[in-house]
Amino acid sequence: MNVIRPEQPRPLASDWDWQQDAACREYPTEMFFHPDGERGPRRKNRENAAKAICASCPVIQACRKQALTLQEPYGIWGGLSEDDRLAIINQREVRELTVASAS
Ligand code: SF4
């Protein structure tokens, strides 16, 4: 079941056109999304392999922007893992709160 979070922009087909050029189209989805219970070195190795594919992807910037905008909860997107994206989002929120409290 697809759930659209109320605070998220509604996806438009044109927002996903960049996926036509995605390097990951040639690889199994399982490389980019962890199976249940995957931990430790196995998970890190899979993530690093996926990130290596992303590093040569011609649409990495569009992919990364979309994943951060939609706060994709799972998988490798734009060369970023779930933890990578969460760290960036948290840094942005701290920065915004700091700016807001200073003004
Ligand atoms: S950056 Fe990575 S996840 Fe995004 S489209 Fe390219 S290969 Fe796929």
Cβ atoms 9, 69 nearer than 8 A: yes
Which atom of ligand 1 is found nearest the CA of 67? 4
96 CA to middle of ligand 1, Å?
28
Residue spans per domain, the chain: 20-102
pLDDT given for residue 7 in this prediction: 61
Q: What is the mean pLDDT of residues 88-98?
A: 91
pLDDT given for residue 13 in this prediction: 72
* Nearest Cα to Cα of residue 77 among 23, 7, 3, 35: 23
29 CA to middle of ligand 1, Å?
11
pLDDT given for residue 11 in this prediction: 62
**Which pLDDT band, with edges at 50, 70 and 90, does 57 fall under?**
very high
* For residue 72, pLDDT beyond 80: yes
* For residue 43, pLDDT beyond 90: yes
DSSP H helices, 1-103, are 40-55, 60-70, 82-102
